[in-house]
Amino acid sequence: MAQHRRSYDPRRPPRHISDAVLEGAEQAPGGLGRAYAEATMTDIFGAGQDTTATALCWALLLLLRHLPLQRRLQAELDRVVGRARLPTADDRAALPQLEAFLCEVLRYSSFVPVTIPHATTADVQLDGFYIPRGTVVFINQWSVNYDPTKWKDPHVFDPGRFLDAEQQLDRDRAAGVMIFSLGKRRCIGDQLAKLQLFLFTAILLHQCAFEPNPAERLTMDCVHGLALKPQPFTVSVRPRGEPGGAL
Ligand code: HEM
């Protein structure tokens, strides 16, 4: 960051994310100031890189497991965006199938199954349970995302569950997915993460067709850690040509 600060030129367009953060935090009138530039970069990379990359890996794996769905998402992109430009954030509202797919990727993979531990600072009564002060508490996000009283056939991958009768994104359903935790310490990057996931997936699907390696079995088995990651898999990627040339 110190190096970028030295070479930063406010008269030029931002070269990368650190220029944008320097501009927002340090240069803009009323900006947060120097200390926040470093802290923001630490958050974006420390908390946001591995999580967002993991979500993309699951999205890719699920696109390989559901090839007809991949084609439908490409058809939606071709119809809404066309082939003459790339998808942008402004296209989000017009791409409900892609939004629904991403919601289902987050729900179905539930790749942050339990949140970062917190501890009670006082004795608490919650839904009839007594939790003494100083108890370490985790939120079980996986059980929320697989709650059969809330989700029909929770073990089935079905992006359609997030679409209403008009085939628009059902925002209440979408808000029911829990992967960014709850409360005061919930993820501060959730909107940025969703935007990044949308842009990466939209541009990749618009530009490329993805095919699985027939020698591999694509499962939801995972490598365990703070975030659950897919088992390593390979993928064939080829550029898409004109509309109708997908796969
Ligand atoms: C799909 C991607 C992401 C997922 C699933 C995710 C999930 C989470 C979860 C579960 C927490 C723990 C909340 C708790 O303590 O209960 C968290 C915290 C946090 N996340 Fe994210 N996150 C993602 C992307 C990002 C991005 C892109 C940023 C970039 C700014 C970010 C910044 C943070 C920060 C700073 C915290 C700590 C908040 C605090 O302790 O007050 N996250 N995230």
- What is the CATH classification number for the domain harbouring 73? 1.10.630.10
User: What is the total count of domains within the chain?
Assistant: 2
- Structural domain includes residue 55: yes
- Nearest-CA residue for ligand 1 atom 24 is 48
- Nearest-CA residue for ligand 1 atom 41 is 185
Q: Are residues 68 and 148 in the same domain?
A: yes
- Structural domain includes residue 25: yes
Q: Are residues 103 and 215 in the same domain?
A: yes
Which residues, judged by CB distance below 6 Å to any ligand atom, belong to the binding site of ligand 1? 43-44, 47-48, 51-52, 55, 112, 115-116, 179-181, 185-189, 192-193
Q: Are residues 95 and 154 in the same domain?
A: yes
Segment 128-133 shows an average pLDDT of 97
**Per-residue model confidence as pLDDT tens digits over 132-145:** 999 999 999 999 99
Give 242's pLDDT tier (boundaries 50, 70, 90): low
Give 244's pLDDT tier (boundaries 50, 70, 90): very low
Q: Which of 104, 187, 197 to mutate to test the pocket of ligand 1 (most atoms within 8 A of CB)?
A: 187
- Structural domain includes residue 247: no
- Structural domain includes residue 2: no
**Per-residue model confidence as pLDDT tens digits over 81-101:** 999 999 999 999 999 999 999
Q: Are residues 66 and 147 in the same domain?
A: yes
Most confidently modeled of 7-16, 149-158, 235-244? 149-158
Separation of 184 CA from ligand 1 center, angstroms?
12
- Nearest-CA residue for ligand 1 atom 6 is 180
Q: Which of 40, 42, 51 to mutate to test the pocket of ligand 1 (most atoms within 8 A of CB)?
A: 51
- The span from the CA of 133 to the CA of 127, in Å, is 16
Give 29's pLDDT tier (boundaries 50, 70, 90): confident
Q: Are residues 102 and 180 in the same domain?
A: yes
**Per-residue model confidence as pLDDT tens digits over 181-221:** 998 899 999 999 999 999 999 999 999 999 999 999 999 99
Q: Is 222 one of the annotated binding-site residues?
A: no
Q: Are residues 23 and 63 in the same domain?
A: no
Q: Are residues 23 and 139 in the same domain?
A: no
What is the length of the chain? 247
Segment 32-43 shows an average pLDDT of 85
- Nearest-CA residue for ligand 1 atom 19 is 187
At 152, list the tokens.
């029909």
Q: Are residues 62 and 174 in the same domain?
A: yes
Q: Are residues 83 and 20 in the same domain?
A: no
Q: Is the pLDDT of residue 243 over 70?
A: no
- Structural domain includes residue 9: no
pLDDT at 158: 98
- Structural domain includes residue 150: yes
- Structural domain includes residue 4: no
- Structural domain includes residue 1: no
Backbone dihedral angles phi then psi of residue 178, each to the nearest 5 degrees: -115, 110
pLDDT at 246: 45
Q: Are residues 64 and 24 in the same domain?
A: no
Q: Are residues 34 and 80 in the same domain?
A: no
Q: Are residues 41 and 163 in the same domain?
A: no
Containing structural domain, residue 33:
15-47
Q: Is the ipTM of this complex over 0.90?
A: yes
Instruction: Please report, rounded to a whole number, the percentage of residues in the chain having pLDDT higher than 90.
Output: 79
